[in-house]
Homo-oligomer: A and B are copies of this chain.
Amino acid sequence: MTQEINPPVRKQATSYDVARLAGVSQSAVSRVFKSGASASAKMRKRVLAAATEIGYRPNAIARGLITQRSNMVGVVISRMTNLYYPELLVQLTQAFSERGIRVLLFTLEHESEINVVLEQTLQYQVDGIVTAAILTPAQIDMLSAAGIPVVLYNRQAKHGQAAAVRCDQETGEAWLVAQLIASDHKRFAIISGPQDSTVSMERTGGALRHLSDLGIGDVTVVAGDYSYESGHQGLLEVHRRLGALPDAIIAANDAMAIGCIDAARHRLGVDVPESLSVVGFDGIGASRYAAYRLTTVQQPVARMTQATVEMLLQRIAQPDFGHEQRVFQGTPVRGHSARLS
């Protein structure tokens, strides 16, 4: 056996090459590779044979240029979001893929970097955009002027000026608060997410509002950043500030709730849920670990991504579709991290 030598870099075959080999016109080749087009069986056969022979693959970029439809959508997501919802990106991509749409991915270290990214998506002629980052009214106007439909994922545009799919964070928190109050919890602390997270604001704000509605106005709030470590630190901070632990901690996400539980058990030697209740939000994988069994609200990620894809495709087909908001309710998970009666 001799060592195989790599063939030299070949140029990709074009429809002209196929046409020449098959002895037909280039337009005929184009038609054979277009789904609903008219071509006789004989023609089709000859063209396909020639195409296979020289390994022809239609150039999607050239097609996009002439049809004014790239069949690509831009997906904008922050590092954090992929970290805590890794299913989101995969499910979005799968769902688009099943409909012949490719995903051009843009990741953000911080949501505020989105301006540059938006320009880039437009240069690449995406047919639409899904963003799991907040858009300013100016940015929404810009996309609207460019005629690019957008769907916000778990974000809200001012005055509902953009289509959005989201989870009802506030109702989720209301459920958590109601459970805790019904089970006789009196003193509460909250560990919030990052300052620039609208989701955290909705959750924290919702929890505070519902606590207040139920007669509890004095709530300690410490700032976290969604990470396990910040949940851990957050509990210690609450402990320092109060000189004692409250009855319940409401963390703005599961990762911080888990950090809290570990800090209570392994740092302060406090039993969860006997002496301290901890609740989270999200329903991430680790929330189901036997060590935690978190009391939380699970986001219906699968349904939300499905809705996102549908809404975006609808708007690509029909740009004046309007700014529908689809709000999903999370699933309450009773769990074992809170002392519920």
A residues near B (Cβ < 8 Å) are 6-7, 9-12, 55, 57-62, 64-65, 70, 72, 75, 79, 82-83, 86-87, 89-90, 93-94, 97, 102-107, 109, 119-120, 122-125, 144-147, 228, 232, 258-259, 261-263, 265-267, 285-286, 288-292, 319-320
CA distance in complex: A290, B12 (Å): 55
Q: What CA separation (Å) do A106 and B102 show in the bound complex?
A: 8
Chain A interface mostly helix, strand, loop or mixed? helix
Point out the residues of chain B lying under 8 angstroms from A289, CB to CB: 228, 258-259, 262, 286, 291
Nearest B residue to A79 via CB reads: B90
Which residue in B82, B124, B146, B291 is a CB contact (below 8 Å) of A90? B82
A97→B107 contact, CB < 8 A: yes
Q: Which residues of B contact A89 (CB under 8 A)?
A: 82, 89, 105, 107
- Are A285 and B228 in contact (CB-based, < 8 A)? yes
Q: Which of B6, B60, B62, B258 contacts A144 (CB 8 A)?
A: B6
Q: How far is the CA of A58 from the CA of B119 in the complex (A)?
A: 10
Contacts of A286 in B (CB 8 A): 286, 289
Say yes or no: B65 contacts A61, CB within 8 Å: yes
A290 contacts B319, CB within 8 Å? no
| A138 to B266 Cα, complex, angstroms | 53
Report how far A70 CA is from B122 CA in the complex, Å. Answer: 15
In whole angstroms, what is the CA distance A105 to B101 when docked?
Answer: 11
**Which residues of the other chain, B, contact A94 by a CB distance below 8 angstroms?**
107, 109
Cβ contact of A75, chosen from B105, B109, B147, cutoff 8 A: B105
Cβ contacts under 8 Å, A232 to chain B:
290
Can you report 6 residue pairs joining A to B where beta carbons are below 8 Å apart?
Answer: A12-B147, A58-B123, A102-B106, A228-B285, A228-B289, A267-B290
